[in-house]
């Protein structure tokens, strides 16, 4: 990516992230997702807490979002204390025209799915490059290490091509915040995301997969700085 394109991409993410933050009102308990786009949401919410007196509590989905939220000055809570959230805001690796999404590029999709399912309203922020008519990106699948070989065999039986995600130095597998492995699995164009999601969930040893079918709203940051809002 060129420096100019990277700057444009960052501008789109910023526009989407900040626009989504305006949905948040005082008194809300908000799920805070993981990734480069929702990072702008977290920073803007922190600014509103400091400058506008916004009174919220956040529930984070990863150590990464926890550190960002603490740095931004957002008071945090847990699902154990507040099992029902008013809103969850997160990013996506890809999202289709029916608002089915693939998430898990940051290996936080299990906690992200739990948080999004705990929320009354689930909002996704993304730049235009993340949108597609149909899903065709790899699906991250968190698996118990003990079950890795079984899950690989079952995914292949579904027509998938699983690969164990390795750490950056390639000296071992990526370990999730839950202590598990991630299998990045390609299925080509996914004609029926909900059906595939059900099949993946039925495999013993699968902790969670990265297909999300519970998105209520999508905020798309555009190159001109505007934001397109799509609702289910």
Per-residue pLDDT at 170? 72
DSSP collapsed to 3 states, 6-70: HHHHHHHHHHHHHHHHCCCCCCCEEEECCCHHHHHHHHHHHHHHHHHCCCCEEEECCHHHHHHHH
Per-residue pLDDT at 10? 87
At 50, list the tokens.
């400091």
For 37-74, the pLDDT digits (tens) are: 999 999 999 999 999 999 999 999 999 999 999 999 99
Per-residue pLDDT at 232? 86
Dihedral sign (CA 6, 65, 54, 47): negative
pLDDT band at residue 89 using 50, 70 and 90 as cut-offs? very high
**Contact predicate 110/142, CB 8 Å:** yes
**Contact predicate 125/90, CB 8 Å:** yes
Per-residue pLDDT at 1 exceeds 90: no
The domains located in the chain, with CATH, are 3-131+213-231 (3.40.50.1360), 139-207 (3.30.70.260)
Per-residue pLDDT at 141? 98
**Contact predicate 11/19, CB 8 Å:** no
Look up 112 and say whether it is catalytic. Answer: yes
Per-residue pLDDT at 4 exceeds 50: no
Cα separations in angstroms, 180 against 11, 55, 83, 141, 159:
34, 35, 24, 10, 23
Burial of residue 80 (CB within 10 Å: 0-12, 13-18, 19+) is exposed
pLDDT band at residue 222 using 50, 70 and 90 as cut-offs? very high
Of the candidates 12, 44, 66, 112, the residue annotated as catalytic is 112
């Amino acid at each position: 990516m060129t420096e100019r394109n990277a700057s444009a991409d960052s501008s789109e993410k910023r526009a989407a992230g900040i626009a989504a933050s305006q949905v948040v009102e005082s008194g809300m308990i908000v799920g805070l997702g993981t990734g480069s786009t929702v990072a702008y949401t977290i920073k803007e919410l922190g600014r509103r807490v400091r400058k506008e007196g916004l009174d919220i509590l956040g529930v984070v989905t990863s150590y990464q979002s926890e550190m960002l939220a603490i740095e931004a000055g957002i008071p945090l809570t847990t699902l154990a204390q507040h099992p029902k959230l008013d809103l969850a805001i997160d990013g996506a690796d890809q999202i289709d025209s029916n608002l089915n999404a693939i998430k898990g590029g940051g290996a936080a999709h299990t906690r992200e799915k739990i948080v999004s399912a705990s929320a009354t309203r689930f909002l996704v922020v993304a730049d235009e490059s993340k949108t597609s008519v149909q899903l065709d990106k790899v699906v991250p699948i968190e698996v118990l290490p003990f079950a890795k070989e079984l899950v690989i065999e079952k995914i292949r039986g579904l027509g998938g091509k699983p690969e164990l995600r390795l750490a950056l130095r390639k000296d071992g597998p990526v370990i999730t915040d839950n202590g598990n492995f991630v299998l990045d699995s390609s299925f080509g164009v996914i004609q029926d995301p909900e059906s595939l999601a059900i099949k993946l969930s039925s495999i013993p040893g699968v902790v969670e997969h990265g297909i999300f079918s519970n998105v209520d709203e999508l905020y798309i940051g555009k190159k001109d700085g505007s934001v397109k809002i799509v609702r289910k």
